[in-house]
Amino acid sequence: MCAPALREQACIMAPKFHSRPKNRLLAALPKQERGRYFSKLKTVPLSLRQVIYEAGAPLKNVYFLEQGVASILTDMASGSKIEVGMIGYEGVVGVAALLGRNTSTQQIIVQVPGSALQMKVAECRAAFEQSAAVRIVMLRYFAALFDLASQTAACNRLHTIEQRCARWLLMAHDRLHNNVLPMTHEFLASMLGVRRAGVTEIAGELQSSGLIRYHHGQVTIANRESLEASACECYHIDHDRLMRRLRTRPVPRKVKF
């Protein structure tokens, strides 16, 4: 069962950004903008299977991930769920609120535990409206999420389970700082929208080939290069597109929008 949604009383004040922030969106902003709008963010823990937002829930906070990975899930009438997006330290949960949305249209769940910087939607909207630099960074990320969802739709229709499984593992690996992913076959099958037996078979083949190791609910990436060769072209398209949209150097303060 999923853990309860994040509670504000569990938060602690985050330290000032004396060094480069772990979250790439915040790191892309000029220091002056971070100090003006993002100096009072709170650190919250992200636990495994924790629901950050349910579909239809009001968007009260946004979460800039520092560690861990969250999945964006779409519910079907049958009760099944499928992943349409993934968020790690390169992104933020709740970005749709900056475009005027007041409720979440999808469920967002933590698939790899970690931590995030929490910010009230009203404060983030103010930064978005008042700062051209913040708008540019956030809109680039929104476009990246849209691109990912579009690519995932095509991938789910055209590519094999093995290709999709390899792509998913690589995407999760890109968003973490180590080679070990806490992941069960059942959960991975849910993310991919396929039967558990199919994922178990593919995971066994990947392990036999030395690409991954699976033990007690943990997947270890053993041979990244070969895993990339097993993935469909969608992985490289996603990765290259995301890197272009999320520039590592800060956006200049004085920028036309």
Residues near 197 by beta carbon (within 8 Å), at least 6 away in sequence = none
Domain edges within the chain = 8-155, 160-231
Let me know: does 55 contact 106? Beta carbons within 8 Å: yes
Question: What is the architecture of the domain spanning 160-231?
Answer: Orthogonal Bundle (1.10)
Q: Which residues of 151-160 are buried (b: 16+ CB within 10 A; e: fewer)?
A: bbeebbeebe
8-155 CATH, one of 3.40.50.300, 3.90.1150.10, 2.60.40.680, 2.60.120.10: 2.60.120.10
* pLDDT tops 80 at residue 35: yes
Per-residue pLDDT reduced to its tens digit, 242-251 = 888 766 454 4
Q: What is the pLDDT of residue 155?
A: 92
Per-residue pLDDT reduced to its tens digit, 221-243 = 999 999 999 999 999 998 888 88
Question: Could you tell me the pTM of the whole model?
Answer: 0.84
The 3-state secondary structure of the chain, one letter per residue: CCCCCCCHHHCEECCCCCCCCCCHHHHCCCHHHHHHHCCCCEEEEECCCCEEECCCCECCEEEEEEEEEEEEEEECCCCCEEEEEEECCCCEECHHHHHCCCECCCEEEEEEEEEEEEEEHHHHHHHHHHCHHHHHHHHHHHHHHHHHHHHHHHHHHHCCHHHHHHHHHHHHHHCCCCCEEECCHHHHHHHHCCCHHHHHHHHHHHHHCCCEEEECCEEEECCHHHHHHHCCHHHHHHHHHHHHHCCCCCCCCCCCC
- What the block records as the tokens of 247 is 């520039």
Per-residue pLDDT reduced to its tens digit, 128-165 = 999 999 999 999 999 989 999 999 989 988 999 999 99
Looking at per-residue pLDDT, the higher value among 52 and 84 belongs to: 52
Question: What does the chain come to in residues?
Answer: 257
Let me know the angle formed at the C-alpha of 17 by 182 and 243, rounded to the nearest 5 degrees: 55
Per-residue pLDDT reduced to its tens digit, 101-113 = 999 999 999 989 9
